Amino acid sequence: MIELAPSILSADFARLAEQVRDATEGGGTVIHVDVMDGHFVPNITIGPLVVKSLRKATNAPLDCHLMIENPDQFIPEFAEAGADWISVHQEACRHLDRTLHLIRSHQALAGVVLNPATPVETLSEVLDIVDYVLVMSVNPGFGAQKFIPGSLRKIRRLAELRAQRGLSYRIEVDGGIGLDTVAEVVRAGAEILVAGNAVFGKGDPKSNAQTLLKTAVEATLQKV
Ligand code: DX5
Ligand code: ZN
């Protein structure tokens, strides 16, 4: 099932509740929350306090993408604030297996994220304990960057490994997703589509979300 996960990174932070409502009215079913610490990535965004407020503003699952060093230190707080899904970067975790179990112990879905330069193979020992894998199709840190085509191969590989090993993780893609790229990521096997700039960048978030989701769903029909 295809789901659109609007990323609030490109939203107007002073009108967050309203923007989230518009995006969900347009068909967004998961709210993607980009958490950046200024260390793992060269930008700073938001923390658990904003997640706590968002929790009151929407019933949609909150997908917290942690682009931070030492995620173990903050996972409990994000979970308590209302994060339903929590993902950590493979590159930021020295003890990835432990971190993924920590997320699960807080009743959140556990995801692992791959930077563009990190191969899918680095996840072979944890694929059976993740609920989703997030393939970065830009280098994390900023919205509105250009889609990196090499991510398509990684999405295909993850779909192939899932079938081969009889696993059930979902495949999410993040970065540079718009009307020009959404069909190819869906055809490659991506199921959860993060989009910031394409939803909130300009125009009306509701109709932007609608158009993007419609294009994505049409691409699944073309998939053989
Ligand atoms: C980038 C973030 C993304 C970002 C995507 O570091 O992880 O979630 O919001 O933005 P767009 O859709 O604008 O490329
Ligand atoms: Zn993200």
Looking from the CA of residue 36, the nearest atom of ligand 1 is 6
Contact of 147 with 176, CB cutoff 8 Å: yes
Contact of 10 with 43, CB cutoff 8 Å: no
Of all protein residues, the one whose alpha carbon is nearest to atom 1 of ligand 1 is 140
- Could you say which ligand is closest to the alpha carbon of residue 142? 1
Closest among 209, 211, 182, 172 to 23, alpha carbons compared: 209
Chain segment 43-99, per-residue pLDDT in tens? 999 999 999 999 999 999 999 999 999 999 999 999 999 999 999 999 999 999 999
CA 168 to each of CA 14, 110, 133, 171: distance values in angstroms, whole numbers, following the listed order: 38, 13, 11, 10
- 34, 37, 63, 131: which is the annotated catalytic residue? 34
Cβ < 6 A, ligand 1 pocket: 7, 9-10, 32, 34, 65, 138, 140-141, 143-145, 174-177, 194-198
3-state DSSP helix/strand/coil % of the chain, to nearest 5: 45, 20, 35
Chain segment 156-204, per-residue pLDDT in tens? 999 999 999 999 999 999 999 999 999 999 999 999 999 999 999 999 9
Closest among 156, 146, 145, 143 to 184, alpha carbons compared: 156
Output the 3-class SS for 36-98.
EECCCCCCECCCHHHHHHHHHHCCCCEEEEEECCCHHHCHHHHHHHCCCEEEEEHHHCCCHHH
Report the distance separating Cα 205 and Cα 19, nearest Å. 7
Active site residue 180: no
Looking from the CA of residue 32, the nearest atom of ligand 1 is 8
Going from the Cα of 164 to the center of ligand 1, the distance in angstroms, rounded, reads 30
User: How would residue 222 be classed by pLDDT, with cut points 50, 70 and 90?
Assistant: confident
Domains and their CATH numbers in the chain: 3-221 (3.20.20.70)
Active site residue 174: yes
The pTM for the full model equals 0.98
Contact of 5 with 32, CB cutoff 8 Å: yes
Contact of 50 with 14, CB cutoff 8 Å: no
